[in-house]
Structure formats: structure tokens, C-alpha cells
Amino acid sequence: MKEIFEILEQNARATPEEISTMVDKPVSEVKKRIRQAEKDGTILKYKAIINWPRLEREDIWALIEVRITPQRGVGYDAIAERIYQFPEVYSAYLVSGTYDLSILVRGKNMQEISSFVAEKLAPLEQVQSVVTHFLLKRYKEYGEAFHVPKETNRRLPITP
């Protein structure tokens, strides 16, 4: 029944009736699968992707690479959990390479993100170092492209 979840992943607003037609299963079975998936944590959340600049809201996003010391017996999980509990953290991933965790944070301005790094993240005992990359522009998120109209040339033509 993976098809149900693939459909919902692409369109969380698809109705059980629409999904049942697409997967050729009874509506009652589709509803049952969805309810069970919501209950057991297979479906974690339904989410809208908002193009905030169109609503004149410009939050600042940063991708932060974190090098940490794993703890005996729990590895990276305990410190990762502590970090992702901060409300500023939107996503957290264990990654390969130079750093151990990659976290995505959101703030109202650069100072708010800088304060998060300096006052909450960097002081954690297991954190060895951090590198912060401020995101300058979103082109695509969760498979959806942000279609931003191209700016027109605002320069005045030179007249002889």
C-alpha cells in the first residue's frame, strides 16, 4: 500500500476517495490505512509549503554544520536529540564527512541565529565546532520550485 503514501507525499490534500480511485482499492480500506499511519507515526504531519516572500515575510535561514563528540553507549543520538529540541531547529541530520550533524535553523534576523549558535548550540559540552551558512535564496524545497518573476532591468537607458 505504499502508493497511498506516495500520493499523500505529493499531495497531502488528496481525499481518500481520490486515492482509492488511483490505487484501485475501496475507500474504507484507504481511510483505515491513513488512520493507522497517523496513529502509529508513519504519517508525522501534513504540511503546506509557503512562498513567504510573496507575503512579505523574510525570515532568515541558516544551515549549520556541527562537529560533536559521540557519547559512550548512545553515539550521536543523545546530543542530536538535545539539539533538535531547540525551537529554532527545523531539521537535523546525521551526515558523513567533516561534520557530524547538519541542522537547519530559522530566525527573524541574522542576530537571532547568531545568538542561537553562541548561547545555545556552541556551549553544549559535546559540540566541538560549528560552521554557519546563511541561506540567501530558496529555489526549491520539498520538490517544489519557487517561481520568482525575473527582475526587470531598472537601469535607465543612456541617451545621446
Q: Has residue 115 been placed in a domain?
A: yes
**Residue with the three cell numbers 475507500:** 27
Answer yes or no: do 91 and 111 share one domain. yes
**CB-neighbour burial class of residue 76 (10 A; exposed 0-12, middle 13-18, buried 19+):** middle
Looking at every residue in the chain, the average pLDDT score rounds to: 89
* Position 11 pLDDT exceeds 80: yes
**Residue range 98-104: average pLDDT?**
97
Answer yes or no: do 56 and 104 share one domain. yes
* DSSP-assigned states of every residue in the chain: -HHHHHHHHH-TT--HHHHHHHHT--HHHHHHHHHHHHHHTSS--------GGGGT---EEEEEEEEEPPBTTTBTHHHHHHHHTSTTEEEEEE-SSS-SEEEEEEESSHHHHHHIIIIIITTSTTEEEEEEEEE----EETTEE---PPPPP-PPPP--
**Residue range 99-126: average pLDDT?**
95
Answer yes or no: do 33 and 83 share one domain. no
Q: Has residue 23 been placed in a domain?
A: yes
* Position 157 pLDDT exceeds 70: no
Answer yes or no: do 31 and 93 share one domain. no
Cα dihedral value 98, 100, 104, 110, nearest 10: -60
Answer yes or no: do 60 and 131 share one domain. yes
**Residue range 57-76: average pLDDT?**
91
Answer yes or no: do 70 and 95 share one domain. yes
Q: Per the structure, how many domains does the chain have? A: 2
Answer yes or no: do 67 and 131 share one domain. yes
Answer yes or no: do 33 and 57 share one domain. no
Answer yes or no: do 36 and 107 share one domain. no
CATH number at residue 77: 3.30.70.920
**Residue range 90-111: average pLDDT?**
95
Q: Has residue 68 been placed in a domain?
A: yes
Per-residue pLDDT tens digits for 123-152:
999 999 999 999 988 888 878 887 755 666
Answer yes or no: do 35 and 101 share one domain. no
Q: Choose among 84, 79, 127: nearest CA to 103.
A: 84
By residue range, what is the domain housing residue 11? Answer: 2-40
How far is the C-alpha of 76 from the C-alpha of 68, rounded, in Å?
A: 8
Q: Has residue 104 been placed in a domain?
A: yes
57 confidence band (pLDDT: 50, 70, 90):
confident
Which range has the worst mean pLDDT, 10-14, 34-38, 44-48, 52-56?
A: 52-56
Sign of CA dihedral 113, 118, 124, 125: positive
